[in-house]
Every structure is written in structure tokens, then in C-alpha cells.
Structure 1
Amino acid sequence: MNIVERAKSILLSPRPTWEVIDTEQTDTASLYTGYLMILAAIPAVCGFIGMSIIGMGMFGVSMRVPFLAGLANMLVSYVLSLVGVYVLAVLIDLLAPRFGGVSSRIQALKVAVYASTAAMLGGVFALLPMLAMLSVLTGLYSVYLLYAGLPILMKSAREKSVAYTAVVIVAAIVLGLIVGAINALFMPRGAGPWAAGDTPVVSVRTPGGEVTIDGAGVAAMQRKMEEAARSMEKASAQKDPAAMAASTRDATAAAAGMLGGGKALGAQTLKAALPEQLGDLARTGFEVQDGAALGLPTSQASADYGSGNRTVHVEIMDLGGLGAMAAAAFGLAQGEKEDQHHAEKTWQEGGRILHESYAKDGSSAEHKMALKNGVLVSISADNMDIAALRNVASQLDIAALERLQRPAN
């Protein structure tokens, strides 16, 4: 799935896109790693840049959230937004029968994830706090996306769509208040260690591991952020869109670097991990994407392999400085479920987070890994059972991928 095309289609052609999404086979890990984790970073990172780097002013007085407080707030808001979408999906699922719908956790998660697209993209307005209220408009469009998607994916009665949407929105508002209250714990209250010269270590534990912001080197990174902010102000004054975009990318990369230690791995480096042959399966095509996805530092390489009716798709993605958060967020979905047709499991092993999903008739299988360095590896197959897919996965040099170090900013 191309995240840019999917975001564009759900925004511009919601109803036809919901019809497509309705029939797609997917799982929790795919929705998170392939879509939500990237989009959720936009409001988190842009909010940090807007509040801690650009700042806000009124009546001649300007204010910036202290640097480390802003970083902690960015991390917490990012993780909580991922959790919040899942909780909202649970509520959508539980409410479906009350409005003539069919209960389905994965369908509910699709609705919650894709309906949030407009609101997540609206997070870009947080770059300039004075424009933050415009995000309300994108939030309202997410309400419309929710309204359009519920009867299609949850099979709810169309005459009850307004009521169903209203109840879900009330639940979302309550969730938002809870998330806001937790975020407030990371905002400064007068002088304290956040504003002091000493730079503490900030860490947040999640089921997928611990993400740490080390105070060492913060001063140098802060100078980069301030330089980018000055460039943004200059470009804005000169009404130079190209310079504004370039300085915004610099600030975003610096913010992401605080969490993951640098830029994304080069896409050609990732491509080198995709051999021309996997067992008896020949590589039939590949795709490489380098640079930014929706303004965030990412790189991706994927390849298709096939022999007869057996096909395998391998995708390697690096979210750059957000890699640590990606691995931590991936672990939020740990658990397992199984029925007579399908089995799925997400667990930790050797410092990695692993996910498997497969049809018991051998028609399809999927194996995903979040490596210790934050690189994400996804291997999916058609007409292949899980044992055969594991054998294919073992032929990739995962250890070499895990040893890769991101370039410094």
C-alpha cells in the first residue's frame, strides 16, 4: 500500500475508497506500521517544532515550551495517539450491534485508522501555533470520514449513521481529554529541571520497549533547531515557499534525530538486503523510495519474488529518527488470536518484536519484525504456508540489517 496514494484517495474520494478498504485483508500490525505510525508522527513532531522552536506570541510577549519538555510531550503524545486510535476502534466495535452493524475488531480498526487521516495531516498547522485552530477544520473532516465509513465497514444501518457517529465522537472527545491530561504532566510548571542548564534523561516505557531522550548533546541539537527556526522566519518574511519547506524539513529532521540518532538509512542500503534469489524464488521486481514521506525522514525498499503461483513480497522500511518510537509502538499490539481458519500472534524475542499472521489452509502468510535498531521488515506471501515463509525469512540477513547505523545529522 502506498501511504501517499491512500491518504489522497481517502480525502478526495472517501466513499469509493471505503469500499476498497472494506474488502482489504489486513491486520493490526500492518495498519499501524504501514500507515498510522507515520501519520501520527506529523502532529507530534509539528507540535514540538511549533511550541518549542518557533514559539507563540501575543501582545509583544513570546513563549516557548522548554526544549526537553517539548520533546517529552512529543513522544508521549505520539504514543498516546496510537493507543487512542486502538481504544476508539474497540469502542466502534462494541457499539456496532447497537446501531444495526456487525461486530468486527479489524474492520473497526480500519475505520479508526483511516478516518483519522484528515486530523493527523491537520497536525501540520501546529508548526505555527497561531494557525493551530485550523486543525479543527481537518478534525471536522475526519468526522465526515467516520460518518461515511461506518455503514460501509461496520455494516450499520444508514439511517442510524448519524447517531452512531455522534456516540463515537463523544467517546473520542473523552479520549482526547484523557490524552490532554496526560500530556499536561509533561508541560513545564515554572522553573525546574526542564529549564535548567542540566539536561536529564527522559525515558518512557511501553510494551514494545523503552524510548530514551538523553540530555547529552541536547545543546548542539537545540542550536540546529534554532537555526532552522530562524531560517523559517526569514523565509516566511520573504514569502519564499521553497526556503520555508527546506527549513521545515531541517527542523523536522533535527527533532526526529533527538529520538533515533540521525537520518534514515539510505534506501540503496536497504535495497542491498534484498537478494536476487530467495531459495527457488527469483526476484521479479523491486521499488526504492528515498527521502521524506509526508515530510518525515524515511526510506523504503521492497521486492517481489515468485515461482509458479507462489509469490512473496519483502519490504524493508526505516523511519529514521522515529525508529525507536516505531519499535515501541509496534509492541503495543502484542497478543495472539486464533480460529479454525486463521492464526495471528505478536510477541517479543531477542530484543525484536515479531508478528505472524497466516491462513491455516496455506493460502497466505505474513511475517513482520521490528528490529532493535528500529528498522521494520515485512514479508508476505500468497500460496505459501507459514513454515515455508519462515524458511524464506531466514534467508534474509536480518542480523546485518540490525547492525546498520544511521548517518548523523
Structure 2
Amino acid sequence: MLLHHVFGLFTHPDSEWAEIRREHEKPLRLYVAYVLALAAIGPICAYISTAHFGWTVGADRLIKLSPVSALQLSVLTYLAILVGVFALGYAVNWMAKTYGAQEEPDASNGVALAAYSCTPLFLAGFALLYPVPWFNALVFLAAAIYGAYLMYDGLPIVMDIPKERAIMYAGALLTVALVILVTTRVGSVILWSYGFGPEFVGD
């Protein structure tokens, strides 16, 4: 089971990346056994907290989302995460030749690198059970920083390139990740205009 890599990526990432390269899992199996499960953490926790716990604004006024609205947004977020990880994985593979790595027809190494590098962000989804904006922002910032480190650390191992090339490669991939993030935000605004926006409920 691929979920055993979660602990290793936090305790001994170098040897874990080497094992991931040896496994060379196909993208479909990686998605089914790893990404589908971990990517659901954030949306599920966000649904629970926004529909049932709520958060306070101003003078202790409790704000919630309606269950239908929270479910819609959680499902859309889940789909965006799945597409984002897949797109980042293919970007890793597409840029491979530029940085001296081997481009693969099925992008196995690229998707693996993207999926496992996103592990801290997947796990940060648990923080959404405590719907306090500043706390969530700090947790996700720390997760993003460690995820970027994991990508930089894993690039030379998984893609089999010299370590000195990993800095430029990782920088290019982080730029792609930011483009994907901005695209999903723009997509959210468009979907909101078609009736998928949040429906707030105050207590």
C-alpha cells in the first residue's frame, strides 16, 4: 500500500524518494491508492467545519455555509486538487528533457513526484476542522514550504538528474504550481457566477 510513504516523507525523505523511484508506479494506480484518499482530507474537513461548526466574525457572530453549498464547494475543491496534482505531474515530465531527465510516455515519475510532494498539503487539510482563518493560513503556509522542499529534495533522486540542476527545475515547477493555483481561483470565480457560490447561514 502506497500510504506507507507518508511517514517516511517526514522522517527520512531521501531514502523514501529512492524507494518511490524503484517502485515506479503507474499514474492510475498512484491516484487510486494514494491521491484519491489523501486529497479528500481537506474537502471533507472543510465541509464538516463550514457546514456544522462555522466560524465567528466580528462580535462573536457565528457564520456557516448551508449544507448544500458546503458540499458543492467541497466537491469542486476535491476535483480541483485532483486535476492540479495531475497537471503538475505532467509538467514535471514535460520539462524533463530541458533539465537532463528522461521524459516518459506515461509520466510515472513526474506524477509520483507531484503527488508525494503534495503530501504535506493533503495532511494540512485536517487543520480545517478548526475553522480559524489565521490558524489555517499558518498551517497551509508551513505545509507549502515543506512540500516545496520535498519537491526540491526529490527531483534529483526521482528524475535522476544532478543536484545542481534541481534548483532551477524546482523553481520552474513552483511557477507552474502558482499558475495552476491562479487558474483554479479564476475558475472558482467563474463557477460562482453560475450559481455555485457560497450560501452563508448566520446564527
Q: TM-score, normalised by structure 1?
A: 0.44
Is 1:10 the counterpart of 2:9? The answer is yes
Is 1:91 the counterpart of 2:76? The answer is no
Of the candidates 134, 158, 165, which is equivalent to residue 170 of structure 2? Answer: 165
Partner SS state of residue 96, structure 2 = helix
Amino acid corresponding to residue 121 of structure 1 in structure 2: L
Q: Which has the higher contact order (CA 8 A, sep 6+)?
A: 2
The aligned counterpart of 2:146 is: 141
Q: Post-superposition shift, 1:182?
A: 2.9
Of the candidates 125, 132, 155, which is equivalent to residue 136 of structure 2? Answer: 132
Distance 1:6 1:118 in 2: 12
Of the candidates 150, 157, 181, which is equivalent to residue 152 of structure 1? Answer: 157
Distance 2:199 2:179 in 1: 24
Amino acid corresponding to residue 155 of structure 1 in structure 2: D
Amino acid corresponding to residue 48 of structure 1 in structure 2: Y
The aligned counterpart of 1:101 is: 101
Distance 1:2 1:149 in 2: 17
Check whether the contact 1:51–1:129 (CA below 8 A) recurs between aligned residues. Answer: yes
Distance 1:98 1:145 in 2: 21
- Return 107-116 or 96-105, whichever deviates more: 96-105
Compare the two structures and name the one with the higher helix fraction. Answer: 2
Compare the two structures and name the one with the higher strand fraction. Answer: 1
Q: Post-superposition shift, 1:23?
A: 1.0
Amino acid corresponding to residue 6 of structure 1 in structure 2: H
Is 1:24 the counterpart of 2:30? The answer is no
Q: Percent identity?
A: 24
Q: Post-superposition shift, 1:2?
A: 5.0
Check whether the contact 2:66–2:199 (CA below 8 A) recurs between aligned residues. Answer: no
Distance 1:2 1:83 in 2: 20
Of the candidates 176, 180, 183, which is equivalent to residue 175 of structure 1? Answer: 180
Check whether the contact 1:91–1:168 (CA below 8 A) recurs between aligned residues. Answer: yes
Q: Post-superposition shift, 1:119?
A: 0.8
Amino acid corresponding to residue 44 of structure 2 in structure 1: V
Partner SS state of residue 180, structure 1 = helix
Check whether the contact 2:2–2:30 (CA below 8 A) recurs between aligned residues. Answer: no
Largest Rg, 1 or 2 = 1
Distance 1:157 1:17 in 2: 18
**Cα distance per residue 1:84-121 (max 9 Å; x no partner):** 11111111111122222221311101101111111100
**Alpha-carbon RMSD:** 1.7
Where do residues 137-286 of structure 1 align in structure 2 (5 Å cutoff)?
137-184=142-189, 185=192, 186-188=196-198
Q: Post-superposition shift, 1:36?
A: 0.6
Where do residues 323-362 of structure 1 align in structure 2 (5 Å cutoff)?
none
Amino acid corresponding to residue 80 of structure 2 in structure 1: L
The aligned counterpart of 1:71 is: 71
Distance 1:160 1:49 in 2: 43
**Cα distance per residue 1:59-104 (max 9 Å; x no partner):** 2233212221110111111112111111111111111222222213
Amino acid corresponding to residue 76 of structure 1 in structure 2: L
Is 1:53 the counterpart of 2:48? The answer is no
Q: Post-superposition shift, 1:189?
A: 6.3
Distance 1:36 1:121 in 2: 11
Partner SS state of residue 57, structure 1 = strand
Distance 1:51 1:170 in 2: 31
Distance 2:66 2:183 in 1: 23
Q: TM-score, normalised by structure 2?
A: 0.87
Distance 1:96 1:25 in 2: 16
